[in-house]
Structure 1
Amino acid sequence: MRINKTFLFLLMLVSANTLADNNKNLKSNTAKGNIAIAIHGGAGTILKANMTPELEKAYHAKLAEALKAGYQVLKTGGSSVNAVQAAIVIMEDSPLFNAGKGAVFTHDKTNELDASIMEGKSLNAGAISGVSRIKNPIKLATLVMNNSKHVMLSGQGAEEFANSQSVELVSSDYFHTDRRWNQLLKLLKDEPDSFKLSEDKDDKHAQQSKNPQDLNNEHSAKTAQLTQWPDDDKFGTVGAVALDHSGNLAAGTSTGGMTNKKFGRIGDSPIIGAGTYADNQACAISATGHGEYFIRAAVAHDICARVKYKKVSLQQAADEVIQEKLKAMQGDGGIVGMSPTGEPVFSFNSSGMYRGYIDKNGKIFTAIYQH
């Protein structure tokens, strides 16, 4: 009889533990069922008064296309890393953004591109900087993360690695756009010794230098050709953050750098902890702005650290860093973030940031201006 009671007690204990485990797994799986993605396409002085309706429509359309590309990966069970890559590739392929195809020119009239990506489960990361023949830098950064023992590769070495990985290479002509080329030429003519900190400042000067009648003719012509650009003093970077079905976060960032940059300058975009960071226990962050300040402030990591250790919301942590810490340093820009439960967050201290999300309920949202 004693043995039977012992057996019965053990049986009840096992059953209780099994039930508890099942309930725990059920709750865990429910939490992990959320999927969401958010993106940015650069921040800065982006004013509606300087934006043509056609150009504004084009930006909203491209942001939506990037979001849908990333969300489709998530919907079909793909990873957050692959979703981030898919969204960024769309923006890298568009001349609307300073990344990939739309990259700005350096002082030496070349294009140098940077990118990074990080996944939040194991804190694995990959980055590349100073490449000039990679069609989609975010793809190469992902391969550095997955297929090498390193975190960051640069310049010629990064392109040698790209060759070993069968990454698509392009000629320098691929990155040439009249918009970016004319920006550089105008800057070199007007301010030959300047070290430019954003890429669109001279759009206004270029338009002002034309005959007023020519400007009127342009505006009344085929504006759908997007020949007019806002004087937005924009910090051109693209980025994405995502949460997948498994509950894993990822973040990625890609940029063409600064117009007229010299001396092999590298900004925050390929720097893990500055322009990109992801940790399943805290958040995923992609930044855009004046890179020197974002590096000094370790912006992406600082936001995640505040969430993790101060136990504050992602929005509060982001605002503390972007609206207070960074602003006190006189640094401009912003971030897009994603929480472990799928809440997208934006914070920027400029008048605008190209941005958007598809949340865990499937709602799509895109925006450009502060209000």
Structure 2
Amino acid sequence: MKKLLSVLAAILFTISACTTGDMQESSSAEPEIKKWAIALHGGAGYVSPDMPEDRKEAYYAALEEALSIGQGVLEDGGTALDAVEQTINYLEDNELFNAGKGAVFTSEGKNELDAAIMDGSTLNAGAITGVTTVRNPISLARKVMTDSRHVFFSSQGAEQFADQTDVERVDPSYFYTERRFQSLKEAQAAEQTGYLFETDKMKEWKYGTVGTVALDINGNLAAGTSTGGMTNKKFGRVGDVPIIGSGTYANDLVAVSGTGWGEKIMLNVSAHTLASYMEYTGASLQESMDYLTDQVLEPGDAGFIAVDKYGNISMKTNTGSMFRAAIDSEGNKDVAIWDE
């Protein structure tokens, strides 16, 4: 009820502003439009600032490299979809992140991967869940969007669809990393204690994901997200990432990718909530991001990146940290993990 009243209040404020002429006055100045813009994330949760310096440097270097890939695509006149896919491909191939090669393990000791991509100019999307042999799940999700009549394939169906494409396949052992396997063992050991007290380490097991949002020189927006899910997740669990409107969404106004506690993101249809708040209240991108992270969600739930049709970028988390990076055509750049 509190959330509904908040939305209604914002709508009434907008109507009132239009009536008094305040809205007309504020909209008389055309916003500055950037040629292109891109933002990415490598997961939100709580990561201690006291992490080893060499590991911290590795994360920053990876974020910089991923950003340069997407930037290169957009500077060369490439599409937002290409920038999103290629940036996420790099993150999926990097063991530091919970996607592709760095994916976490299920309770059964498997790596099951989810991904989604959405074209804001057409409102078309593609998503897959539970794949185990696709090296770059985001590329398969794009094939679902472009080469099928459907939006979402799961598990064996997604694998069967992959058989009909040229996406690279790997043996499931490719996704094994010792660090993630040890995290599974720690999570299972903690589960046996009954979770009487949830430590920061336990909280980390709920989080992780990579994503990218982009605006290209033609004014098109796109969003994509890829993940290995939640450490020790149970049989058949599906998180927010492949659910269009929850962890991934784009239209002609804004593109959004989320990361964090998937169940919380799903329950609030978070990415679509941000887009709808912008559309129906006339709020700015940052105001809409603040509404989502500060009012709709609870502290510790999630983080998001978003870019609007003007090239404005917002990256915000309420979890304490989020691996993130962004740049636009004017050279405005931000690479960060904590509130720096």
Q: Secondary structure at the match of 1:54?
A: helix
Alpha carbon RMSD of aligned pairs, Å? 2.1
The answer to whether the Cα contact below 8 Å between 1:323 and 1:348 also exists between their aligned partners in 2 is no
The alignment status of 1:343 with 2:315, answered yes or no, reads no
- In structure 2, what is the Cα distance between the partners aligned to 1:237 and 1:71? 20
Change (3 A) 1:199 1:274: farther
Partner of 2:238 in structure 1? 266
Offset at residue 253 of structure 1 (A): 0.3
| TM-score, scaled relative to structure 1 | 0.79
The answer to whether the Cα contact below 8 Å between 1:199 and 1:259 also exists between their aligned partners in 2 is no
Partner of 2:285 in structure 1? 314
Cα deviation 1:210-256 (Å, max 9, x = unaligned)? xxxxxxxxxxxxxxxxxxxxx95661100000000100000000000
Offset at residue 365 of structure 1 (A): 2.0
Q: Secondary structure at the match of 1:334?
A: strand
Give the aligned length.
308
The answer to whether the Cα contact below 8 Å between 2:115 and 2:137 also exists between their aligned partners in 1 is yes
Q: Mapping of 1:85-164 within 5 angstroms?
A: 85-164=85-164
- In structure 2, what is the Cα distance between the partners aligned to 1:245 and 1:136? 26
Q: Mapping of 1:28-47 within 5 angstroms?
A: 31=33, 34-47=35-48
Offset at residue 263 of structure 1 (A): 2.2
Partner of 2:9 in structure 1? none
Offset at residue 363 of structure 1 (A): 3.4
- In structure 2, what is the Cα distance between the partners aligned to 1:241 and 1:142? 14
Change (3 A) 1:355 1:194: farther
The answer to whether the Cα contact below 8 Å between 1:199 and 1:258 also exists between their aligned partners in 2 is no
The alignment status of 1:48 with 2:19, answered yes or no, reads no
| TM-score, scaled relative to structure 2 | 0.86
Structure of higher CA gyration radius: 1
Among candidates 247, 251, 267, match of residue 296 of structure 1: 267
The answer to whether the Cα contact below 8 Å between 2:187 and 2:205 also exists between their aligned partners in 1 is no
For 1:139, the aligned partner's letter is S
The answer to whether the Cα contact below 8 Å between 1:236 and 1:288 also exists between their aligned partners in 2 is yes
The alignment status of 1:201 with 2:165, answered yes or no, reads no
Among candidates 322, 330, 340, match of residue 361 of structure 1: 330
Among candidates 218, 221, 224, match of residue 252 of structure 1: 224
The answer to whether the Cα contact below 8 Å between 2:206 and 2:230 also exists between their aligned partners in 1 is no
Offset at residue 52 of structure 1 (A): 1.1
Partner of 1:178 in structure 2? 178
Cα deviation 1:169-188 (Å, max 9, x = unaligned)? 11111000000111112332
Structure 1: gaps of 5 or more residues: 1-27, 203-230
Offset at residue 321 of structure 1 (A): 1.0
- In structure 2, what is the Cα distance between the partners aligned to 1:313 and 1:80? 21
- In structure 2, what is the Cα distance between the partners aligned to 1:301 and 1:350? 20
Offset at residue 291 of structure 1 (A): 0.8
For 1:34, the aligned partner's letter is K
Q: Secondary structure at the match of 2:319?
A: coil
For 2:46, the aligned partner's letter is T
Partner of 1:22 in structure 2? none
Structure 2: gaps of 5 or more residues: 1-29
For 2:35, the aligned partner's letter is N
